[in-house]
Chain A
Amino acid sequence: MSVAGFEVEVDRGSGLETEEMTLNMGPQHPSTHGVLRFVVKADGEVMRRAVPDIGYLHRSIEKISEKVGYHGFMPYTDRVDYVAAMFCNQGWGMVTEKLAGIEVPKRGEYCRVIAAELNRISSHLLAVGTMILDIGAITPFFHAFREREKINDLLEELCGARLTYNYMRVGGVAWDLPPGYEEKVLAFLNQLEPMLDEHYDLVSENTLFRGRAASVATISAETAISYNLVGPNLRASGVRYDVRRDEPYSVYPELEFDVPVGTGMAGEVGDSFDRYYLRVQEIRESVKILRQCFQQIPDGPVVAKVPRKLKPPAGDAQIRVESARGDMSWYAVSDGSEFPYRCKVRTGSFAAMSIIEEISQGLMLADLVTVIASLDIVAPEVDR
């Protein structure tokens, strides 16, 4: 058996048997983001298996939609993924609009993209920061959170909330951009880019960090596809697939941006470092998108006229949003009443969670936290 470059021979039956230890990691463990639990079978420091145990954060969000109606469900979608709530807002808005055949005004779409991309930056900053924190460095985490705090301020000015935004509505967004918003966002973006450079010097070039993340828990493109990985985790394995580009929605066709993929710059393609660095690159792409949005945003209304009692015709609709954690798919069935008949969300974290059992075999115990963090698993999104 090869463990992290060492040939380890475990000789069984010679009187020197080592007992397999069952470790319970979580639900109250500092590096299980949210409430996760892993049952780890370990031989000393080497993991044999790490079996995820999900369901601690199940809140029946999809079921709630059947009781509160189309408009009323919007605040609940924030809680699907509270780190990147804008995308859940957008997903529910889009699926309802598709069911009811509502056209969103152009300015409303741009407002949605601006809010969503700001949220993507903040979500990726959190992912990157906590990954470094789990690897043991403290400062980059605070630097990332300092920048995230500024985005929270910006989004608070936009919609009054810092975490669960409830910004979007069926048919558009709740409020237009506040006066002077463009200057504030651009000022923020201008100072974010040098901070990313500093971050690169401090973390990405760090030998110890590369030693911990490079070539750890490599996911090949085939494995990634067969486990249905989406978003940054899939792209880090070298598959260039982004819903914003391949199944365009909203105003993304009018915007220019690259879809970065993992290159294996520190080790192999699809290792933990690639997943980390891809998120840093995506922050830069989001900055690009935001700058274009402010140049192209037209005047006009931000929300379409939607009846208070929305009764979409019977039928079903399915849409996909590129969330910060990848392809987020929303499916809703209408029976013609004012309540959805059924709603289903498929999220990126769930797929990422299911691959852990496969890739964690033979890793060191300390690598498990790296893997969880590099896959950017947010527990509420797994269970909903």
Chain B
Amino acid sequence: MLQQFLDSLIADGVFGGLPRDIVYLIGMAAAGALVVFGFVLNVAGVTTFVERRVWARIQSRVGPNRVGPQGILQWLADGIKLLMKEEVIPFAADARLFKLAPFIVTIGFIAAFVAMPFSSVLIVADLNLGILYITAMTSLVVVGIMVAGWASNNKWSLIGGIRAAAQIVSYEIPAALSIFTVILVTGTLSMQGIIQQQGWGPWDWFIFHSPFTFVGFFITFISLLAEGNRTPFDLPEAESELVAGFVTEYSGARYLFFFLVEWGNLYVISAILVTLFLGGWQAPPIPVISDSAVGRNVLEFLTFFLKSYFGVVLMMWIRATLPRTRVDQLMTTCWKYLLPIAFFNFMGTALWVLVFPEGFRFAEILLTAVGFGLLGYFAYRVAFHLRRSGAQITLSPLS
């Protein structure tokens, strides 16, 4: 995609006599900068603000509302504050590794965006092993976390780092097995290829493709939550147990990088789930807009972004609701429950694809109905609780 675009520019003579490789390099750097500064950093930043406001709403608080209208610029203020702060490197720390660790984490996070689709044409590189590449790159985060935990020369950091390693390595397996269920259906690893085989309607999404992918969606979700160190699996930085886990000794800009990755990862997790199971950027055709290429892409981008952001908010909600598991419970969940179920799913999907190579329409529609039924019941329960407690809250007995 990018290559074709650059080729056409070279043919037009825009770059004069520059060698082709250098043009490609410039193009890649420009696209990378556009994605990183135009999207990744903003999404990660705004997510911190949204998370704080969502939590505040759930916890009967106000939340940040001072910087900019409704506090929308709070994340910029926080970022600038952290960048300008003095950075303390502990005397006994391994200074070189200590400085390096946040960048390994950040590379692992940003590199995942190379193969991340935004719409049918907006993708930096549609690698033919896209999902495998993303899984590999996000695993790089754990290396950085371990290095951070080790180099800090602090026992709490070390425990955090070791916990992160054990947790992420364990949960890679059910996550990968569940991702394979989709790949068995599609026969391709390319992110765009996976999305193109789905449709805009929920019944064409892979989550409702078969009972196995339906279960696989939830296993992937849980595993990716654990890989992203999110509650209820936020053990590596469990603040009530490990002070702050692997970030205990960090301050200033390097601390900022860790948190950028943590909140940016929410989007990555959601985007992977949306791509694999929830139809990706497949937007319903709207007569006038879908006719032009630009209009169609904007529509697809919005569809993908809204679906992903729904997942992000869901993860915030989970974090605001659930307590943390213990490290042995975490491992039990993974090895005793998720892994066997994921393996069973994997085999089941293989059988399903063998029996119904073209998909089974009745099952898809039935599963869609079941899925939306569950969603409806969930909404009903939420409404019930809101009605029951909402009327009772008075902010002060004196007023």
Contact yes or no, A209 B385, CB < 8 A: no
**Contact of A369 with B389 in the complex, beta carbons under 8 Å:** no
Judge if A157 is at the interface, Cβ distance under 8 Å.
yes
Which of B58-66, B69-77, B214-222, B272-280 has 4 or more CB atoms under 8 Å from chain A?
Answer: B58-66
> Which B residues between 342 and 399 are near A, CB-CB below 8 angstroms?
385, 388-389, 392-394, 396-398
Q: Which of B163, B232, B321, B394 contacts A139 (CB 8 A)?
A: B321
Going nearest first, the 10 A-B pairs with the smallest beta carbon separation are A136-B324, A142-B59, A137-B323, A188-B397, A31-B240, A135-B323, A136-B323, A134-B240, A191-B392, A194-B392
A212 and B232 alpha carbons, distance in the complex (Å): 12
Instruction: Compute how far the CA of A211 lies from the CA of B203 in the bound complex, rounded to whole angstroms.
Output: 37
Counting chain A residues whose Cβ lies within 8 A of the other chain, the interface size class is 35 or more
Inter-chain CA distance A183–B163, complex, in Å, is 52
Q: In whole Å, how far is A257's beta carbon from the nearest beta carbon of chain B?
A: 22
User: Separation in Å of the A277 CB from the closest CB of chain B?
Assistant: 15
B234, A136: Cβ atoms closer than 8 Å: yes
Given contacts A31-B240, A136-B232, 18 further A-B contacts (CB under 8 A): A5-B328, A6-B328, A45-B327, A134-B240, A135-B240, A136-B238, A136-B322, A137-B321, A138-B59, A138-B320, A139-B58, A184-B397, A187-B397, A188-B397, A191-B393, A194-B388, A195-B392, A212-B329
Give every chain B residue within 8 A of A367 (Cβ-Cβ). 326
The interface size of chain B toward A, counting residues with CB under 8 Å, comes to: 38
Chosen A-B contacts, 19 in total, with CB atoms closer than 8 Å, are: A24-B155, A45-B328, A134-B240, A135-B240, A136-B322, A139-B320, A150-B394, A153-B397, A153-B398, A184-B397, A187-B394, A188-B394, A194-B392, A195-B392, A195-B393, A197-B388, A198-B385, A202-B321, A365-B241
How far does the alpha carbon of A5 sit from the alpha carbon of B336 in the complex, in Å? 13
Using known A-B contacts A136-B231, A136-B238, A139-B59, determine if residue A4 contacts B321 with beta carbons closer than 8 Å: no
Distance of B52 from chain A, by nearest CB (Å): 12
Q: For A31, what are the chain B residues with a Cβ–Cβ distance below 8 Å?
A: 240-241
For residue B55, CB closer than 8 A to chain A, the reply is yes
Q: Mark A222-248, 1 if CB is under 8 A from B, else 0.
A: 000000000000000000000000000
Contact assessment for A133 and B389 in the assembled complex, using a CB-CB cutoff below 8 Å = no
| Cβ of A299 under 8 Å from chain B | no
Complex Cα spacing A142 to B393, Å:
13
Shortest Cβ gap from B242 to chain A (Å): 8
Residues of the B chain whose Cβ atoms lie less than 8 Å from the Cβ of A209: 323
| Complex CA distance for A348 and B321, rounded to whole angstroms | 32
B239 proximal to A (CB < 8 A): yes
Instruction: Write out the residue numbers on chain A whose beta carbons fall within 8 Å of the beta carbon of B155.
Output: 21, 23-24
Chain B residues near A162 (CB-CB < 8 A): none
Let me know if A51 is at the binding interface, CB within 8 A: no
A141 (CB) vs chain B CBs: closest residue = B59
Q: Which residues 17-39 in A have Cβ within 8 Å of B in the complex?
A: 21, 23-24, 29-31
Q: Tell me which residues across on chain A come within 8 A of B238, comparing CB atoms.
A: 136, 366
Asked if B240 and A30 make an inter-chain contact with CB atoms under 8 angstroms apart, the answer reads yes
With A139-B59, A202-B321, A366-B238 known as contacts, the answer to whether A153 contacts B396 (CB < 8 A) is yes
Question: B61 contacts A142, CB within 8 Å?
Answer: yes
Q: Does A128 contact B (CB under 8 A)?
A: no
Q: A212 contacts which chain B residues (CB < 8 A)?
A: 323-326, 329
Could you tell me the distance between the alpha carbons of A137 and B234 in the complex, rounded to whole angstroms? 11
Smallest distance from the beta carbon of A196 to chain B beta carbons, Å? 11
A132 and B328 CA atoms in complex are apart in Å by 19
- A166-189 residues at the B interface, CB under 8 angstroms: 184-185, 187-188
Nearest-neighbour CB distance to chain A for B136, whole angstroms, equals: 28
When chains A and B are docked, how far (Å) is the Cα of A366 from the Cα of B241?
A: 6
Tell whether, in the assembled complex, residue A138 and residue B55 are in contact, meaning their CB atoms are under 8 Å apart.
yes
Partner of B323, one of A143, A149, A206: A206
Given contacts A139-B59, A142-B61, A365-B159, A154 and B398 within 8 Å (CB-CB): yes
Mark interface residues in A145-165 (1 if CB within 8 Å of B CB, else 0): 010011001100100000000
Q: Is the CB of A201 within 8 A of B385?
A: yes
Q: Mark A197-208, 1 if CB is under 8 A from B, else 0.
A: 110011000101
Q: What separation, in Å, do the CA atoms of A195 and B388 have in the docked complex?
A: 9
